[in-house]
Amino acid sequence: MGLATQPHVLSAELDAKQDHLLTVLRELGGVAVAFSGGIDSTVVAKAAFLALGERAIAVTADSASVARTELADARELATLIGIRHVVVRTDEFRNPDYTKNDGTRCYHCKTELYTTVESLLPGLGVTFIVSGANLDDLGDYRPGLVAATEHHVRHPLQETGFTKADVRALALHWGLPTWDKPAAPCLSSRMAPGVAVTPERTKRVEDAEAFLRSLGLRECRVRYHEGDLARVEVPLGEVPKLACDPLRTELTGTLHALGFKFVTLDLDGFRSGSLNELVPLEIRKVYSRQ
């Protein structure tokens, strides 16, 4: 992973947004970036470092819900950016409201993260926590944004009008190697509502998705349903390949060996956030952000 050498030229509108983003961060004086290593938080970390230098710190949570590859990528990206990087252990798995996975799991996860980061702020010498939430995250089922509001987390990308497309364009302009990286939500997000989250199950999903990526698939999900059933989502063009031997036999054999009792291939293909459809409507209403 390395920084690109030829930056992408920004439009006048996006160039103005870039300046606004840096100004907003500069005015905060010092920030801890909730840094997962995903494209959004990476852009915020880069912007914070440009605006604040040593007064910007990237903080990454580490738990059984974080894939080892994602943690390694976060470390490498922080080094490339030059920002100080702190990895903290979070204990969301000790919270029964998190592990029961009733549709509010992300709220309890972010509450644990922001509470942990808040306790570090005095020692880090900064005042604000900032996230990578962008405009496209508004109006969706986002329990984590509710927790962010309760902890006074700032969302500089939202405040300065950045969409997901804007974020990717700015990342390309800045030469960030993950400008086109697919979304990589935490491993616990693969559990269908009602399926308890455990370290054993998240590890099972991590290993199953690692196998799919070894086949050359960039976007894939292994959704974990009741009865140890794996629902595999891949782009529609890849479905026929996985449905036919020899890959079908290799896929089912690998996932059975990992502990899945049933292996299914979703004919609707890859859909980000498809498990949200199973969250009860009353919970979706409470944890949606307009």
What is the rounded CA–CA span in Å between residue 29 and residue 65? 32
CATH number of 12-173: 3.40.50.620
Domain ranges, ordered by start, for the chain: 12-173, 187-272
274 — pLDDT class (breaks 50, 70, 90): confident
Helices (H), the chain: 12-28, 39-52, 68-81, 96-99, 105-124, 143-150, 156-159, 164-173, 199-214, 239-243, 247-258, 281-286
pLDDT of residue 273: 79
What is the rounded CA–CA span in Å between residue 48 and residue 169? 17
pLDDT of residue 290: 43
pLDDT tens digits along 213-263: 999 999 999 999 999 999 999 999 999 999 999 999 999 999 999 999 999
> Which residue is it, tokens 């204990």?
91
Q: Nearest 5°: phi and psi at 192?
A: -65, 145
Look at 276 and 88; give whichever has higher pLDDT.
Answer: 88
Cis peptide upstream of residue 182 (ω within 30 degrees of 0): no
Q: What residue type is 197 in one-letter code?
A: V
**Range with lowest mean pLDDT among 50-64, 79-93, 134-148, 234-248:** 134-148
Task: Write down the number of H helices and E strands in the chain.
Answer: 12, 9
pTM of the model: 0.90
> Can you tell me the mean pLDDT for 130-149?
88
pLDDT of residue 276: 73
What is the rounded CA–CA span in Å between residue 50 and residue 56? 9
Contacts of 159 (CB under 8 A, 6+ apart): 24
How many Cα atoms are found within 13 Å in the side-chain-facing hemisphere of 80?
Answer: 20
5 — pLDDT class (breaks 50, 70, 90): very low
Determine what percent of the chain is predicted with pLDDT higher than 70: 92
> Can you tell me the mean pLDDT for 15-20?
97
pLDDT of residue 138: 85
C-beta pairs of 22-29 under 8 Å, 24+ apart in sequence? 22/47, 22/50, 22/51, 23/51, 24/156, 24/159, 24/160, 25/51, 25/52, 25/56, 25/130, 25/156, 26/51, 26/52, 28/52, 28/127, 28/128, 28/130, 28/154, 29/55, 29/126, 29/127, 29/128
- Is the pLDDT reported for residue 196 higher than 80? yes
Q: Any idea which fold 187-272 has? A: GMP Synthetase; Chain A, domain 3 (3.30.300)
